Amino acid sequence: MFPQLAQYTDFGLLLLRLMVAAIFVTSGWSHATKSQQRSKDIGMSQGFTIFLGVVELAGGLGVVFGVLTQLAAIGLILIMLGAIQKQIFVWHVGFWGEGTYGWHYDLMMIVMNLVILFTDGGRWVLMR
């Protein structure tokens, strides 16, 4: 219907990468710097929580700057698949969850990272 908007595809992909990075970098920073509390919240060891934080930070930075973009997106997808697995099979949280928290958010992050994976982040990346 609006073919002229296709010229903004790379801008749209940049905005998507910025949003994904903002979420994962802040989450990763929290996991890495507040690992003791975060490990209790997610039911993992402190060491694994630090590892998770470093991976989230690296993936978020890779996605935003376009460095190994597809590998970064795959790493973030794997993290979200692990989060969904924990929510469904360990915590027994439904899609919408209790109140405002469910695994719908995590699934949305997977789809956003799939778009980044399939498009390699668009043209505006540092590394091709």
Residue 124 counted as domain residue: no
Q: What's the number of domains the chain is made of?
A: 1
Q: Give the pLDDT confidence of 45-54 residue by residue, as tens digits.
A: 999 999 999 9
Of 115, 117, 96, 114, give the one whose Cα is nearest residue 105: 96
Q: Give the pLDDT confidence of 88-121 residue by residue, as tens digits.
A: 999 999 999 876 689 999 999 999 999 999 999 9
Radius of gyration of the chain (CA): 16
Residue 125 counted as domain residue: no
Residue 127 counted as domain residue: no
Q: Is the dihedral of CA 126, 117, 72, 22 positive or negative?
A: positive
Residue 37 counted as domain residue: yes
Residue 17 counted as domain residue: yes
CB 115 within 8 Å of CB 16: yes
Residue 82 counted as domain residue: yes
Note if the pTM is more than 0.75.
yes
Residue 113 counted as domain residue: yes
Pairwise CA distance, residues 11 & 62, whole Å: 17
Owning domain of residue 8 = 3-119
Residue 29 counted as domain residue: yes
Q: Give the pLDDT confidence of 2-57 residue by residue, as tens digits.
A: 999 999 999 999 999 999 999 999 999 999 999 999 999 999 999 999 999 999 99
CB 68 within 8 Å of CB 127: yes
